[in-house]
Chains A and B, each alone.
Chain A
Amino acid sequence: MWGFEAQHRIRSSHILVINFSSVGAEIVKNLVLGGLGFLTIIDSGKILEQDLSGNFFFDVSLLGCTKLDSAVKERIQELNPRVDIVTDSGAWAEKSQAWFNQFDIIICTQFDASQIESISLISRSLNIPLYVVDTHGLYGMIFVDLIDHSSHLRLARNPIRRKPGRSSSVREIVRVEEMTENDVEYEDCLIQNHYTPFNNILEKPKLKEFFRNKKKLNKIDSTLVVLLGCLKIPSSYNYPIETVQVTRFELLEFANDVARRLGLTILDLNDLILQDIANQFCCEFQPVAAILAGCLSQDVINMLSKRENPINNLLIFNGKKAEMPIYTI
C-alpha cells in the first residue's frame, strides 16, 4: 500500500511510545501490525482494576502487575513476531538525552503541559518528530511537532495549475511536476510543512491566519479551548480515577486563558463541553482510544512514507458530535 521505499522506512524505524494507556495500547497494536521495525514502550504504572475496561492487553490475572509485565509484552509480540519490542517499566523523566536519541519518533499519551514542555525540549534538541495524544472520555486531541517535514502529494489536475509558493506561514509548495500515469493526469507537489514548537503555540498563535473572518473564528467549537485548558491540570494518568476530581471552576479559568490568547470566545460555567470534559477528565474510553490511535498511527505511517500531508499541528476530537477538526495554532 505504501510503496516499497515507505515500507522500508517503516521497517527500519524505531518508535518510542510513552505510557501504555488505552490509546497507547491501540497505537502499539496498529504500529506492530503495520510492520514497524523497532518499538520501545515505557510506563512505570501498575495495572488497576479500572484499566481492565480500557486496555485489551490486560486481564484480571494481571491486576497489580506493572503495565508492561512480561505477560503483556508477550501478548504484544504475538501480534507480529518480526517486530523488535523493548518494554521498560522505568520512568521516562529519568532517562538521559542519549537514551532518547535512539528513537526516530516519540509518541506520548495522556501528557500534561509541563510534561509536553520537557519532552519537546528533548525532541527538538535531538531533531526527533513528536506526537502527543490525550483523551478525556468522549473528547481528545492530538498535538504534532514534526519540526520540518517534506512530502509528495499526488493531486488530480486542476483547471488552475498549482504553483510553488508559500500558502501559509507553516506550509509551502516547493515544486510542482505534471505527470501522467495510466492515462490519468495529475500533479506531483512537493510540500514543505513547518511546525511550531509546543512552547510557542499559545505565545504566537497562528489560528487567525486561517480564520481571517472574525465571525468564523467565533464559531470555533469550545472543545478546542477546553482541551488545551486541560493541559494545565497535572495529568492523572496511572492514578485511581476516584481520586481525580476536576472542577468546572478551575477548568474554566484555564480554558478562558487559552481563549483569550487565541482570540476566541470566552466561555461561561454553563458551557456543556466544559461540564462534560471536567467530569470525564483523564477517563479512558475504548472507542475514542481506537479512533485517535488509528488517526495518529496513520499519520505516523504517512509521515514515514512522505506521501500525504501530515497533521499540522492540532487535531481535536469531539465524540458526541463525531467531529475531528484539524487546526494550525
Chain B
Amino acid sequence: MARDIQLIRILGEETYNKITNSKVLLVGAGGIGCELLKDLLLMRYGEIHVADLDTIDLSNLNRQFLFRQKDIKKSKANTAVAAVALFKGDTKLEPHHGNIMDVSQFPLSWFRQFDIIFNALDNLEARVYVNRMALFINKPLIESGTTGLKGQVQPIYPYLTECFECTAKETPKTFPICTIRSTPSKPIHCITWAKNFLFAQLFGEESEEELNPADLETDDAQEIEALLKETNELLALKKLIKDDSAEDFIDSVVEKIFVEDIVRLSKIDTLWKSRQKPVPLDYGLYSKKLKELPPSVISDDQKIWTTEENLLVLVDSLKRLQARYKSEGVLDFDKDDKDTLDFVVAAANLRSFIFGIETKSEFETKQIAGNIIPAVATTNAIMAGFSSLQSLNVFSDDPVGNSRLIYDSEYINKFVTQCPPLPGNPNCKACGIQRGIITVPSLDIQLGEIHKQLLKKYGYSDDVSIVVGNNRLVYDYDFEDNLTSSLKDLTIGDGSIFFIGDSDDELQDIELYLEVAPKETEIALTDITIKKKPVKKEESKAEVTIQDGDQMEEILDEDEILIIDEPTEKRPLEVEEEIHSKRKKSSI
C-alpha cells in the first residue's frame, strides 16, 4: 500500500503483514499511554483496545497531547480513541472506560483475545495484576514506566524472561503519621499535613474511617488522646463551613488549628524532650496587622511570605473555599487550582512557623505538593517509542534474544542503558510457578471431577492439595469431603484461582484460573509441562549487568565529569501519580 511503503521497507512485508493482523491491548491512556497509542497506530497495528479508568484532569494537559481543555472530566480511554480518529487509518480501535482489575468487565477470556499487552500504567497494583494475567494466558507483555527524567521499558515473555514481580519494587516514601500530626521537622511534613490531612478533612469527602490508634505509630497515651480529640473537633468544624458566616468560620479554624491544637500538643512533655516545643500562633497580634497588608501579596508566588502574609493568604483562601464548598460541595486539592494551593501553602507555612521550620514560597510548595517529581513529556515520548519498538521483536524469529530492557542513562556517553532480558527469578511469587487456565462448562461440576482431570493431565500423584483463592483449602489427601460437592456449592466461580500443590514435593506447584465456558462440554486444562521441583537453593539475587561497561570505564578515567553515580541494578520506577494516589489513600 502506497501509504505504508516506508513501513514495508523498514520492516519487510512479512512483519508488516503480521502487525496489521495483530490485536493488542494498551492498558493506560495517560502520559505514556497517549504517546504509545499514537506510535502503535502509525505502526499500523490491526486492532488496538485502550483501557483506562481515569478521567482527564487539568494537570494532564501539558503532556498528554491527545487531551484538550474541553475534555476535562471525560474518560481518558474514550477521549484518546476519539482524538486519534484523524490518523487512525485502517486500525480498529476500541476504548474501555473501566478498571482493568474488574473481573466482570475484563474476565481472563477477554485478555486472551490479544497478541500483545502494553502496560502504560502508573500504579503498582494494576501493573502486578496485568502481569499475572499475562502469565496465565502466556502472552508477551511490554511494561513501561517513567518518573521525571527517569524511565524504563521491560519486555516480558512469561516464564522465559523476568516478569514484573521478579524484582522488588520500591514503595513510595511515606511518613509516620505521628511525624505529620505531632512532630514535624521538615517543610515536606507540614505540606503533607496541610494537603492530605487539613485540606482533606475540611473540604474533602466525609471520611467513614475512624482514626485507629495503632496507625499512629506512637505509644504515648497522651499523644493519642490529643490526636483523637483533634480529629473530633475538626469534624465539628467541618459542619460549620456550611452554616457559619465567613468571619466566624475563619476565626474558628485558625483558633483551633494554630492555637488550641498546638497548646494541647505542647503540653505533652515526652514529645519535646529532644525537640523544640511548638509555639502557638498569636492570632490576636497578627490579625490586627492584616488590614495594613496589600492583598497583592497573594499573587506573588516567588516570595517567601512573612507570617502575617501567610495568615492573610489563609484567611482569603478560606473565604474563597468556603464559598465554593457551599455551591460546589466537596473539593479536591489540585496544584493548578489557585484557591486550594493558596490554602495549602499558607497553612503549611504557618505550621512551619509554629514548629520553627523553614517556610517555602508558593512556587516551591507547588512543586512539592504537586507530587514531588512531575512527569516529563519527553521521557514519556521516548519510553513509549522504545515500548513500541520492542514489540517488533514479538514477530521476529527470536523474540527473547532480540529483546532489550531499556533504562534512562545518567552517563554522558550514552542516552540509554540497555541489556538483554534476564531469566526469571526462580523464587518469584508470580512466575516462579507455572500458571494456566481450567475451563469448565458449568459450575455444577463436582470438585472430584476436577481433581481427577488434574491428576490425569499433569501427572500428579494422588497426594496433592487444592487451595482456592488466598488460603481456602478444599482438598488434600486427608480431606476428601468436598469431592462430591459442586463448584457452585463450594462458592467457587468464574475467575477463582486454584493453587495445586504437590504434597510429595516432587512436581512443581501450579496455579490455575477458573473460567466458565458454557459452550464447552468437558473440563479443559491448559497444556503445561510440569517440571520437577528444584532442590532448594539459597536465594540469589539477579543483577543487571550494564553492557559497554569497559568502554565506559575508560572514559570515566579520563573525564571527571563523567563520574556520576549510576546504580548497577536499577529497579523499575513508579510514576508520579502512583505516589500521588498512594498518598491520597493513606489517610493520615
Cross-chain contact B416 with A324 (CB below 8 angstroms): yes
Assess the A54–B35 pair: CB atoms within 8 A.
Answer: no
> Chain A contacts of B388 at CB under 8 A?
286-287, 290
Q: What separation, in Å, do the CA atoms of A191 and B565 have in the docked complex?
A: 18
In the complex, B541 has a CB within 8 A of chain A: no
User: Judging by beta carbons under 8 Å apart, are B382 and A171 in contact?
Assistant: no
Q: Which residue in chain A gives the minimum CB-CB distance to B550?
A: A216
Residues of chain B within 8 A (CB-CB) of A189 are: 561
* Distance A241 CA – B1 CA, assembled complex (angstroms): 12
Does chain A have a CB within 8 A of B5? yes
Interface positions, chain A 28-43, Cβ under 8 Å from B, are 29-30, 33-35
Chain B residues with CB under 8 Å of A49's CB are 2-3
A324's partner among B6, B302, B415 (CB-CB below 8 A) is: B415
- Return the CB mask of A299-324 against B: 1 if under 8 Å, else 0: 00100000001010001000111111
* Contacts A4-B302, A158-B563; A168 near B558 (Cβ below 8 A): yes
Chain A neighbourhood of B432, CB < 8 A: none
- Residues of B contacting A133 in the complex (Cβ-Cβ under 8 angstroms): none
Contact A58 B87 (CB under 8 A): yes
In this assembly, does B38 line the interface, its C-beta being within 8 Å of a C-beta of chain A?
yes
Q: For window 458-497 of chain B, which residues contact chain A by CB distance below 8 Å?
A: none
A295 with B42: CB separation less than 8 A = no
Give CA–CA (A319, B418) in the complex, Å.
12
The answer to whether B415 touches A34 (Cβ under 8 A) is no
Please indicate the chain A residues that have their CB under 8 angstroms from the CB of B412 in the complex: 309, 326
Chain A hits for B87, CB < 8 A: 52, 56-59
The answer to whether B561 and A30 have CB atoms under 8 Å apart is: no
Which of chain A's residues has its CB closest to B384's CB? Answer: A290
Residues of A within 8 A of B363 (CB): 4
Let me know if A249 is at the binding interface, CB within 8 A.
no
Q: Could you tell me the distance in whole angstroms from the C-beta of A113 to the nearest C-beta in chain B?
A: 22
User: In the assembly, what is the distance between CA of A264 and CA of B409, in Å?
Assistant: 25
Contacting B65 at CB < 8 Å: which of A29, A287, A293, A320? Answer: A29
**Per a CB cutoff under 8 Å, which of B38, B43, B554 touches A213?**
B554
- Shortest CB-to-CB span from B271 to chain A, Å, is 22
Residue of A nearest to B153 (CB): A322
- Residue B519 lies at the interface, judged by CB distance under 8 Å to chain A: no
> Which of B63, B385, B413, B550 neighbours the largest number of chain A CB atoms within 10 Å of its CB?
B385
CB contacts under 8 Å to A, within B1-38, are 2-7, 9-10, 35, 38
The answer to whether B389 has its CB under 8 Å from any CB of chain A is: yes
Q: Which chain B residues lie closer than 8 Å to A211 at the CB level?
A: 551, 554
Within 8 A of A (CB), among B414-464: 414-416, 418
Chain A residues within an 8 Å CB radius of B418: 321-323
Q: Does B263 contact A (CB under 8 A)?
A: no
A212 with B554, Cβ < 8 A, contacts A294-B381, A295-B382 known: yes
Is there a chain A Cβ closer than 8 Å to B68's Cβ? yes
Q: Are B414 and A324 in contact (CB under 8 A)?
A: yes
**Contact A291:B560 (CB < 8 A) given known A56-B87, A298-B149, A326-B413:** no
How many angstroms between the C-alpha atoms of A59 and B5 in the bound complex? 16
Are A53 and B3 in contact (CB-based, < 8 A)? Answer: yes
Q: Report if A234 contacts B (CB, 8 A).
A: no
Chain A 252-284 interface 0/1 with B at a Cβ cutoff of 8 Å (1 = within): 000000000000000000000000000110011
Q: Is B98 at the interface (CB under 8 A from chain A)?
A: no
In the bound complex, residues from chain B placing their C-beta under 8 Å from that of A79 are 65
User: Could you tell me the distance between the alpha carbons of A171 and B380 in the complex, rounded to whole angstroms?
Assistant: 30
Nearest chain-B residue to A308 (Cβ)?
A: B149
- Roughly how many angstroms separate A26 CA and B186 CA in the complex, as a whole number? 41
- B559, A284: Cβ atoms under 8 Å? no
Say yes or no for A224: interface residue by CB 8 A criterion.
no
Interface of A is mostly: mixed
Please give, as numbers and ranges, the residues of chain A lying within 8 Å of B62 by CB-CB distance.
Answer: 33-35, 80
How far is A164 from B43 in the complex, measured between Cα atoms in Å? 48
Query: Do most interface residues of chain B lie in helix, strand or loop, or is the interface mixed?
Result: helix
Task: Looking at the assembled complex, report how far the CB atom of A243 sits from the nearest CB atom of chain B, in whole angstroms.
Answer: 11
Q: Do A283 and B10 have beta carbons less than 8 Å apart? A: yes
B144 nearest CB across to chain A (Å): 12
Contact A325 B413 (CB under 8 A): yes
Complex interface: stretch among B227-235, B370-378, B522-530: B370-378
What A residues does B413 contact at CB under 8 A?
210, 325-327
Are B551 and A56 within 8 A (Cβ)? no
List, in ascending order, chain A residues with CB within 8 A of B63's CB: 33
- B554: which A residues are within 8 A, CB to CB? 210-213, 216
Report the bound CA distance from A320 to B563 in whole Å.
Answer: 29
Residues of A within 8 A of B35 (CB): 290
User: In the complex, A52 Cα to B139 Cα: how many Å?
Assistant: 30
Interface check A45, CB cutoff 8 A: no
A161 → B minimal CB distance (Å): 10
Q: In the complex, how many angstroms separate the beta carbon of B473 from the nearest chain A beta carbon?
A: 46
In the complex, whether A179 has a CB less than 8 A from a CB of chain B is no
Question: Do the beta carbons of A54 and B564 come within 8 Å of each other?
Answer: no
Contact check: which of A56, A213, A321, A326 meets B415 at CB < 8 Å? A326
| Given known contacts A30-B378, A298-B149, A53 and B558 CB-to-CB distance under 8 angstroms | no
Query: Is A65 among interface residues, defined by CB-CB distance under 8 A?
Result: no
A294 & B385 in contact (Cβ 8 Å cutoff): yes
Partner of B378, one of A155, A163, A298: A298
Residue-by-residue, is B389-416 near A (CB-CB < 8 Å gives 1, otherwise 0)? Answer: 1100000000000101010010011111
Report whether B561 and A285 are in contact in the complex, using a CB–CB cutoff of 8 Å: no
From known contacts A242-B5, A279-B9, infer whether A30 and B381 are also in contact, taking CB-CB under 8 Å: yes
* Complex interface: chain B residues within 8 A of A320 (CB): 402
The verdict on A95 contacting chain B, using a C-beta distance below 8 Å, is: no
Closest residue of chain A to B562 (Cβ to Cβ) is: A167
One of B68, B402, B561, B565 near A153 (C-beta < 8 A): B561
Which of chain B's residues have a CB closer than 8 A to the CB of A291?
Answer: 381-382, 385-386, 389
A319 to B10, CA, bound (A): 11
Checking B3, B384, B414, B550 against A325 with a beta-carbon cut-off of 8 angstroms, the contacting residue is B414
Q: A4-B302, A287-B39, A290-B381 are in contact. Are A326 and B68 (CB under 8 A)?
A: no
Q: With A212-B558, A286-B43, A298-B378 in contact, is A50–B6 under 8 Å at CB?
A: yes
Residues of B110-167 at the interface with A, using a CB-CB cut-off of 8 Å, are 148-149
Nearest residue in A to B85 (C-beta to C-beta)?
A59
Which residues does chain A contribute within 8 Å of B4, judged by CB atoms?
A: 50, 53
Q: Is the CB of A56 within 8 A of B3?
A: no
Complex-state Cα separation, A30 to B9, whole angstroms: 27
Is residue A162 contacting chain B, with contact meaning CB distance below 8 A? yes
A196 at the interface (CB under 8 A from B): no
Residue in A30, A53, A78, A315 whose CB lies within 8 Å of B7: A53
A136-171 interface with B by 8 A CB criterion: 137-138, 153, 155-156, 158, 162-163, 165, 167-168, 171
- In the assembly, what is the distance between CA of A102 and CA of B554, in Å? 42
Residues of B within 8 A of A326 (CB): 412-415
Chain B residues, CB < 8 A from A59 = 86-87
Let me know if B551 and A216 touch, CB within 8 A.
yes
> Lowest 8 CB-CB distances: which A-B pairs, in order?
A290-B385, A291-B385, A286-B42, A294-B382, A294-B381, A324-B415, A322-B404, A137-B10
Q: List 29 A-B contacts (CB under 8 A).
A: A1-B367, A4-B302, A4-B363, A30-B377, A49-B2, A50-B5, A52-B3, A53-B42, A163-B560, A167-B561, A168-B559, A210-B559, A211-B551, A211-B554, A242-B5, A283-B9, A283-B10, A285-B6, A285-B10, A290-B35, A290-B39, A290-B382, A309-B561, A319-B389, A322-B406, A323-B414, A324-B416, A326-B412, A326-B413
Q: Can you add 12 more A-B contacts, CB < 8 Å, to A137-B10, A173-B560, A322-B406?
A: A49-B2, A53-B6, A56-B84, A59-B86, A155-B563, A279-B9, A280-B9, A284-B6, A290-B35, A291-B385, A294-B381, A294-B385
